[in-house]
Amino acid sequence: MKILACNSNRPLAEAIARELGLPLTKAHIQRFADNEIFVEILENVRGEDVFVIQSTSFPANDNLMELLVTVDALRRGSAKRITAVLPYYGYARQDRKTGPRTPISAKLVANLITTAGTGRVLTMDLHAGQIQGFFDIPVDNLVAAPVFADDIRKHVGAGERLVMVSPDVGGVVRARSMAKRLDADLAIIDKRRERAGVSEVMNIIGEVEGRHCVLVDDIVDSAGTLCNAAVALSQAGALSVAAYTTHGVLSGGAVARVTASPLARLVTTDSIQATEAVANAPNIKQLTVAPLIAEAIRRISEERSVSSLFD
């Protein structure tokens, strides 16, 4: 087994390699003057089980192309099996046609990854479960719930005063799963925009007054929905409001928005490398998923069950 890191999230790749007790495979990844990507694998990979770690986060197109070129280099170097480890799967939000003449980019990216020579994909908390079906190769979709559950017990608590909150109707399954894991109640934010140019109206389904509320989601990007939900919960009498989201995209003015919001804590994983602004924000924290991904890699290499990790 060999572990190869591309450039999108080197700290996470190095942490995974440490967990596995393996050195990162030596490779030379460079860009020419016109920004073309060139990859040279500096070790023999013939007949090896190779895991390539690369989140396709910002800049998504560059990181995706880097992954594809690396996989092609490994395939031409006669690697036995190439597994793309994507802690964050970019383009996942484009998983269906949202209007006439619009793409399904998540499917296009799946095709590109497969055609490049990938034999298997390991990812985490896909935005939509059906994306697994976009691939014609095996896909293991890890969940960050066990990591989050431990942290919630430690910093927020558990039991009858705890409520898991879905920030929209689409995330109910995720919030319900976390509520079951923590033996907590469930609430849902019903978000509506009455007409163009008028701010969203937040209706809360469930009892949150006098409770510790935890918003659960898979991606936080602009953080607008999350912060609006935190305001609505606070106005409804919540004792405290925290948020746990797997992938901290946090683009634009998201960090400033979170810092100024009623959120006591926004917790993400290190599936996306933290920017300086995220690292310095007083109420944003990252939890590492390196042990989780490392154990999944170990099990895949040894042909053991990955799903039993979450039993």
Tell me the H-state helices in 217-304. Answer: 224-235, 254-259, 276-280, 290-301
Is 217 flagged in the annotation as binding?
yes
Is 61 flagged in the annotation as binding?
no
**299 and 281, same structural domain?**
no
**149 and 138, same structural domain?**
no
CA distance 307 to 143: 10
**263 and 155, same structural domain?**
yes
**10 and 97, same structural domain?**
yes
Secondary structure class of 226 (helix, strand, coil) = helix
Decide: pTM greater than 0.85: yes
**154 and 100, same structural domain?**
no
Query: Exactly one of 26, 180, 191, 285 is catalytic; which is it?
Result: 191
**305 and 250, same structural domain?**
no
Tokens 């690292």 sit on residue:
279
**Token pair for 108:** 């296009």
> φ, ψ for residue 46 (rounded to 5)?
-60, 125
Residue 159 has pLDDT above 90, yes or no: no
Is 225 flagged in the annotation as binding?
yes
Give 73-113 pLDDT, tens digit per residue: 999 999 999 999 999 999 999 999 988 999 999 999 999 99
User: Are the C-beta atoms of residues 186 and 166 closer than 8 Å to each other?
Assistant: yes
Kindly state the DSSP code that residue 99 receives in the 8-state scheme: S
**121 and 12, same structural domain?**
yes
**265 and 161, same structural domain?**
yes
The CATH number of the domain holding residue 36 is: 3.40.50.2020
User: For 150, how many CA atoms within 13 A lie in the half-sphere containing its CB?
Assistant: 6
**295 and 209, same structural domain?**
no
Question: Is the preceding omega at residue 262 within 30 degrees of 0, hence cis?
Answer: no
Paired with 8 in beta bridges are: none
**192 and 105, same structural domain?**
no
**169 and 260, same structural domain?**
yes
Give 206-222 pLDDT, tens digit per residue: 999 999 999 999 999 99
The range of the structural domain enclosing residue 230 comes to 145-287
CA distance 99 to 210: 42
Is 271 flagged in the annotation as binding?
no
Is 36 flagged in the annotation as binding?
yes
Residue 191 has pLDDT above 90, yes or no: no
Q: Containing H/E element for 195?
A: none
Residue ranges of E strands in the chain: 2-5, 27-31, 37-41, 49-53, 81-86, 120-124, 139-142, 162-166, 185-192, 201-205, 212-220, 240-248, 265-269, 284-287
The answer to whether 191 is a known catalytic residue is yes
**Token pair for 221:** 């990007």
CA distance 176 to 241: 17
Give 171-187 pLDDT, tens digit per residue: 899 999 999 999 999 99
Residue 59 has pLDDT above 70, yes or no: yes
Secondary structure class of 15 (helix, strand, coil) = helix
**Number of domains the chain contains:** 2
**7 and 107, same structural domain?**
yes
pLDDT confidence of residue 156:
83
Paired with 286 in beta bridges are: 268
